[in-house]
Amino acid sequence: MSLNKRLDLAREAYARKDKEMAAQAHRKRMIEHSAKEQHGGQGSQYIGSMVYGGLDGVVTTFAAVSGVAGANLGAHIVLIMGLANLLADGLSMAVGAYLSDKSEHEYYEREYQRESWEVEHFPQGEKDEMIEIYKEQGYSDEDAKQLIEIISTNKESWVEQMMLLELGLLKDDKKPIISGLVTFIAFLIAGAIPLAGYLITNAAGASGQTSFLISAIVSGLTLFALGAAKVKVTGLKPLRSGIEMLLVGGIAAVVAFAVGLFLKGIGVGG
């Protein structure tokens, strides 16, 4: 059984509190086989970028639709503003995600090199630091010394332990360029849905109010779907996760709609 399937089995066992199923997921042969694969899978680590990009795409585009449609400026203005927001904000988010991950990777690598140098040149001092950390976690002095003697036999693991316990830094295998691309693609796809919902119904002869209502409905459904997609890594129930995302995005959408009404009032007053 692959690692992902074993993890799915373990998660289902925990959800059901099924000890027999959990024992099956923890059979030695199954663990040995799945351990040969890369831990965590390749796609799950980017689910955050997908959800973040998609959520912002829906809310941002719906904000443009609600603002322009609320001011009765016409479908062609909705198209211009919607596409402008979709491309500009999507690119901005993608660049932001890339630079953020890149900065975190660079910081981790810089600190890793420093810890590695200290382990190589001041091993006893680093061991003493780890002993004190373990003692603070509740280990006895003797157990702490035994732990560090075992860990210090592998320099890479030793340095990683120092990074985690001393600095609170955990290595992240995500590739910044992929995070940026996932964010951008999710933003475009999810953000295009409320825009398309408005434009298609408007082109079919529906009124502006009807088109806006359709856009709001498909936006809500998209938000719910994004929330349900999170269960792949969060383990929450799809319905609960979907409603949670719908509420979070819905609050932002209500604010956007209120801004649209306010701007409409300014336009009429002018």
How far is Cα 82 from Cα 260, in angstroms, rounded to an integer?
A: 14
In this predicted structure, what is the pLDDT of residue 270?
A: 45
Torsion of CA 48, 172, 179, 231, to 10 degrees: -20
Q: Taking the CB of residue 73, how many other CB atoms lie within 10 A of it? A: 17
Measure Cα distances from 225 to 60, 239, 265 in Å: 17, 9, 34
Q: How many residues does the chain have?
A: 270
In this predicted structure, what is the pLDDT of residue 37?
A: 53
Beta carbons of 230 and 245 less than 8 angstroms apart: yes
Domain spans in the chain, listed from the N-terminal domain onward? 107-167
In this predicted structure, what is the pLDDT of residue 31?
A: 57
Beta carbons of 20 and 152 less than 8 angstroms apart: no
Tens of pLDDT along the chain (270 residues) come to 555 565 666 667 777 777 777 777 667 565 555 555 544 445 567 777 888 888 888 888 887 787 777 666 677 787 888 888 889 989 998 999 899 889 988 988 998 898 889 888 888 888 888 899 889 888 899 999 999 888 888 888 888 888 888 888 888 778 889 989 999 999 999 889 988 888 888 788 887 778 888 888 888 888 888 877 766 655 567 788 788 878 877 787 677 667 767 766 665 444
73: phi > 0 → left, psi -120 to 50 → alpha, else beta; which?
Answer: alpha
How far is Cα 59 from Cα 204, in angstroms, rounded to an integer?
A: 24
Q: What is the DSSP string of 144-167?
A: HHHHHHHHTTSHHHHHHHHHHHHH
Nearest to 60 by CA among 252, 247, 209, 230: 252
Residue recorded with tokens 């066992």: 13
In this predicted structure, what is the pLDDT of residue 264?
A: 65
Q: Which two tokens stand for residue 234?
A: 């969060």
How far is Cα 97 from Cα 51, in angstroms, rounded to an integer?
A: 13
